[in-house]
Amino acid sequence: MLLLGIETSCDDTATAVVRDGVRVLSNVSTNQDEFHAKYGGIVPEIASRRHAALLSAAVDDALTRAGMALGDVDGIAVTAGPGLIGSLVVGVATAKALAFATGLRLYAVNHLHGHLFAAFLECHEPPAYPFLALLVSGGHSQLVEVRSPTALRVIGKTRDDAAGEAYDKTARLLGLPFPGGPALEALAREGDPKAIAFPRHRPDPGTLDMSFSGLKTSVRYFLESAAGKSARPEDVAASFQAAVVDVLIDRVTRALDADRDRTPDETGYRAVVLSGGVAANTALQTAFRAVGASRNIATFVPERRFCTDNAAMIAAAAERRGEANRVDPRTLVANPNLPFA
Ligand code: KG4
Ligand code: ZN
């Protein structure tokens, strides 16, 4: 199928045209960082107003760059949740109107499913099922067992902050500009990851859950201490990043080791996928690929432009999930708390 994707769940106004959930013919994204930066975080009202101002032109832009008109696509895929309600409503209302006016098929996509299927974009030998996915974004951190496009099961999750949220909050403590993740990663590149031994929290040894709020608090206490006042910010950033990567990689390793004890037809992961905005982090990507190599399992990481929020991944998820996501344009409503499965 040829799908137009629309993603407005948070602060990126994103549109794309994707063929067969793999080939990205256009991928347009306008980030709103300059409007939110002075507040140190995303202001929902500003985000929805920017989407309202930008989305129609972004739809035209994606179609033009793909060299086609709306009538050439087979359907429209839109993020229906989870996310900020005002932001979601702009994308959902636009997609409904376009589908209703043209008679095109409409697919309602869970934003997190989009992140999962980002790994298929521009990938000519995609991950084989069943696979394990580590999904790490600004709002979510979870391990997912993916048996088929529609058989998804969360097997571990954060008990408090998401990994991206921990990056953003720690970046703020370090006085870095918003958005914090990329800025903190750049600073960490100049520092010593072993300089400060920040804690690695694993809430309960019997589960695959994770926790990041204690780490952020440790960084805060450290920065307020005498040692913290004389520490190099580069070392604090590198040591914080090492703790996040250790916790995430430990969870993946544990899930793969638990899987080894099962018979191939019980699970037998055939690939492991990294996704979400934090997947853009080079230190995490390197450690993730190393785990795959040591366990002899194929690793998949989307291209950077498909790690952070984008609309191509929404089209990819709709393509894979097909009829499971098909909706009537008259009845679709945005759901800020859309359940994962
Ligand atoms: O997936 P995403 O674009 O939006 C959500 O669905 O939340 O993820 C955004 C998150 C933010 O917390 C951002 O700081 C983080 O991903 N992020 C990074 C990097 N790039 C984005 N975190 C660490 N290193 C990066 N290079
Ligand atoms: Zn996202």
Closest ligand to the CA of 185: 1
Question: 156-168: per-residue pLDDT in tens?
Answer: 999 999 999 999 9
d(CA 144, CA 132): 6
The answer to whether 52 and 41 are in contact (CB under 8 A) is no
Question: 65-123: per-residue pLDDT in tens?
Answer: 999 999 999 999 999 999 999 999 999 999 999 999 999 999 999 999 999 999 999 99
Which residue in 76, 57, 71 sits closest to 17, CA to CA?
76
32-60 burial by CB neighbour count: b if 16+ within 10 A, else e? beeebeeeeebbbebbbbbbbebbeebbe
pLDDT at 212: 97
d(CA 314, CA 117): 8
User: Strand locations in the chain, DSSP E?
Assistant: 2-7, 12-19, 23-31, 75-81, 105-110, 131-136, 141-148, 151-157, 271-275, 298-300, 326-327
Ligand 2 centre to CA of 337 (Å) is: 14
Closest ligand to the CA of 212: 1
Residue 160: both structure tokens together: 């408090």
Would you put residue 296 in left (φ > 0), alpha (ψ -120 to 50) or beta?
left
**Ligand 1 neighbours by CB, cut-off 6 Å:** 10, 137-139, 164-165, 167-168, 179-182, 185, 276-278, 280-281, 308-309
Residues of the chain short of pLDDT 50, as ranges, are none
Nearest CA to ligand 1 atom 8: 277
Helix (H) / strand (E) element for 261: namely none
Ligand 1 centre to CA of 139 (Å) is: 9
Structural domain spans, the chain: 2-118+306-327, 129-302
Whether 129-302 and 2-118+306-327 are alike in CATH topology: the answer is yes
d(CA 20, CA 31): 26
CATH architecture of 2-118+306-327: 2-Layer Sandwich (3.30)
Q: Which atom of ligand 1 is nearest to the CA of 309?
A: 3
Query: Under CATH, to which class is 129-302 assigned?
Result: alpha beta
Residue the block writes with tokens 């920017």: 50
d(CA 221, CA 206): 29
Q: Which residues pair with 158 in a beta bridge?
A: 210
Residue 187: both structure tokens together: 């600073």
pLDDT at 240: 98
The answer to whether 183 and 171 are in contact (CB under 8 A) is yes
Q: Which atom of ligand 1 is nearest to the CA of 12?
A: 3
